[in-house]
Amino acid sequence: MNEHSSHSAARGGPSLVRIAVAFLVFAIVWRVLWVVVPMIFQPALEPRAVTPRGDLAADEQATIELFRGASPAVVFISTLRRSRSFFTLDVTEREQGTGTGFVWDSAGTIVTNYHVLASGNRWAVTLADHATYAAEVVGTDPTLDLAVLKIDAPSRKLPALALGSSYDLQVGQKVFAIGNPFGFDQTLTTGVISGLGRSIRSVAGNAITGVIQTDADINPGNSGGPLLDSAGRVIGVNTAMFSPSGTSIGIGFAVPVDQVNRAVARIIQAGRPEEPLRAGLGVLIADDRFARLQGVDGAIVSEVLPQSSGERAGLRSSELLPDGSYRMDVITRVNDVRVRVLADLHDAFRGRSPGEEVTLEFERDGASYRATVPLQGLD
According to DSSP H, which parts of the chain are helical? 3-41, 58-70, 114-117, 257-270, 288-293, 309-312, 342-349
In angstroms, rounded to a whole number, what is the distance separating the alpha carbons of residues 136 and 147?
11
Which residue among 78, 141, 145, 185 is the active-site one?
145
Which residue among 115, 229, 258, 288 is the active-site one?
115
**Annotated catalytic, 223?**
yes
CB 212 within 8 A of CB 198: yes
Which residue among 194, 223, 309, 318 is the active-site one?
223
**Annotated catalytic, 145?**
yes
- List of residues 6+ apart from 137 with CB closer than 8 A: 117, 123, 147, 148, 149, 150
**Annotated catalytic, 115?**
yes
From first CA to last CA, the distance across the chain in angstroms is: 124
Exposed/middle/buried for 156, CB within 10 Å: 0-12, 13-18, 19+? exposed
Mapping DSSP onto H, E and C, the string for 46-81 reads CCCCCCCCCCCCHHHHHHHHHHHHHHHHEEEEEEEE
Q: Which residue numbers are catalytic?
A: 115, 145, 223
